[in-house]
Structure 1
Amino acid sequence: MITTSSPARPPELRPRRLRTARGDFAVLDMPPAAGVPVRGTVLLLPGYTGSKEDFTLVLEPLAARGYRAVAVDGRGQHGSDGPVDDETAYAQDELAKDVLAQARALYAPVHLVGHSMGGQIARAAVLLDHTPFRSLTLVSSGAARISASQEQRVTLLRDALAGMSMEECWEAILAMGPPGEVGGPARGIGGPEQLRERWVSTRPAQLLATGRQLCAEPDRVAELAAVPLPFHVLSGSHDDTWPVPELDAMARRLKARRTVVDGAGHTPVVDRPAPTAQSLAGFFDTLEAR
């Protein structure tokens, strides 16, 4: 899905740099709405080929419920710097340490939300150190490696990146149809030129390294279940990256809250932002009320 125009950006939404002990990261920072009691801070991580802009339509509803909502470009994603060719800089452990630094830079235990690949990075961060976090929400992010069909798409993309520029890859992918959800430019907010700019500004090494991670991720749910945090598993009602029954089973293993957003696919924050934001805030509210 490519929207033909960008939604109006609320005047309170601040694109800025988040300074951390591991470098600066591009963020969209939405403060709690005026006159609303402040309830907490939410840190949102995008998925493979995604960016912070994917969360644009859920930031304002979260702010209206009293949450500071901060969506971040990870290392090498869109607006955040990173090596062009050094894949070792994008090892999952390195990206997880970045998330820990981002949470600490926000000066409070944060509600961590990770979409797709961002969910697996969020999980890795929590397994390294859960103390900077208030909760963990996995959005369309499964227990282990992606489905065989999506693995084929990611492998094709990695093969293309090995011999083509980002601009050439963009043109080749568009020739096959509109942007997809995992193994190609992500569905997102904005028109074609904005999605193209997001794609070409992402570092190739980041896509190569994280693509390999998606195709080889082990099942770490048992480790995660031992972490003393509240969990939430949220997805659309259909998903070919991690089948919905697999997400149901993961939620049971985690004893997590489970939310299925009717009519949404792999990217509920784009497909159905209003009910997605409502579900996120509802989960956070139950924790803040304790």
Structure 2
Amino acid sequence: MSTPRFLTLPPGVRARRLETAVGTFAALEALPGSGIAERMPALLVPGLTGSKEDFLAVMQTLAQSGRQVVAIDMRGQFETGGPDDPSAYTCAALGNDVDALAQLIGRGEPIHLVGHSFGGLVAREAVIDGRTKFASYTMMSTGPGAIVGLRERVGREMLAEAPEAGLERMWDTRLEPEALSSGVPDEIVAFMRKRFFANSSTGMAAMTREILSARDRCDELDQVDVATLVLFGEHDDGWPPRTQSEMADRLSAECVVVPGAAHSPAVEAPETTAAALVRFWNAAEAYLRS
């Protein structure tokens, strides 16, 4: 889990509560300096152990390209509530939430959709189900199916215990030690702890099962007419970079490798990541207008 760059909101970013037919979602919103969005909006969906704050470092830059930019906490994450029902946290159920949010933000018009890590699998559900027309879809540090490697092992260890005990184990044995060894300031570690334990334990367990069992849906995604970007850090420790590159080839998608970044390019290399997204979004809009 990476850390957000700020503990307080930067100028131009505000907290919101988004009311939809499927529930209320905590969100952060950024607008252009003029307050007038001239281009298509964007919806940013975080990863399994993350939150809307993981996009703070890119939101201003993205908004200054002329867009409304909205980052959310998914159902059961941090400041968005969720039920004590595992079926509410499947990729399909969470993808339905993304549909509802996209339709609210876009007011029936296409929007750009970005999903980070597990959020990329959730966003993929909304793209494939066909209920919403998207201007583009970005898979950020996301693979074609179930996650592998160290993150897979950590997830399976967490599920071997009761939900609350599993969260404690993940924090104590991996997330906190990683943050401290990376030199993360104490106040940010405190924020990360608060955020992590604010998650629904039922939701965390259910979403972990989803990321460990996700099936490859590239063939279905390839049938959808949507501009697609695969973006990941050169040192990604989630899905291997080679796997993500091969996925981009299968999808005939644009592929961007962010130098120096690992699993969270929006945190680790925000300017490069934002520039790649803006360029991709502009090209996708030009294509839609042609």
Q: TM-score, normalised by structure 1?
A: 0.90
Which residue matches 1:214? 211
- For residues 200-226 of structure 1, give each alpha carbon's deviation from its aligned partner in whole angstroms, at most 9, with x where no partner exists: 110011111111111111110010000
* Shift, 1:133, TM fit: 1.3
Which residue matches 1:184? none
One of 247, 256, 267 as aligned partner of 1:259: 256
Does residue 103 (structure 1) correspond to residue 102 (structure 2)? The answer is yes
Does residue 54 (structure 1) correspond to residue 29 (structure 2)? The answer is no
* Shift, 1:66, TM fit: 0.9
Amino acid at match of 1:26: A
Instruction: Map 1:1-290 onto structure 2 (within 5 A).
Output: 6=6, 9-34=9-34, 38-83=38-83, 85-106=84-105, 107=107, 108-129=109-130, 131-162=132-163, 164=165, 166=167, 168-169=168-169, 172-173=172-173, 177-179=177-179, 191-290=188-287
* Cα pair distance change 1:260/1:99, threshold 3 Å: same
Distance 1:4 1:58 in 2: 10
Query: What RMSD over aligned residues (CA atoms) do the two structures have, in Å?
Result: 2.4
Distance 2:98 2:2 in 1: 29
* Shift, 1:192, TM fit: 1.1
Distance 1:69 1:75 in 2: 19
* Cα pair distance change 1:28/1:3, threshold 3 Å: closer
* Shift, 1:36, TM fit: 7.2
* Cα pair distance change 1:175/1:213, threshold 3 Å: closer
* Cα pair distance change 1:2/1:133, threshold 3 Å: closer
Aligned identity (percent) is 38
Unaligned runs of 5+ in 1: 181-186
Mean alpha-carbon deviation: is it higher for 88-97 or for 276-285? 88-97
**Partner secondary structure for residue 136 of structure 1:** strand
Distance 1:59 1:6 in 2: 12
Distance 1:176 1:193 in 2: 10
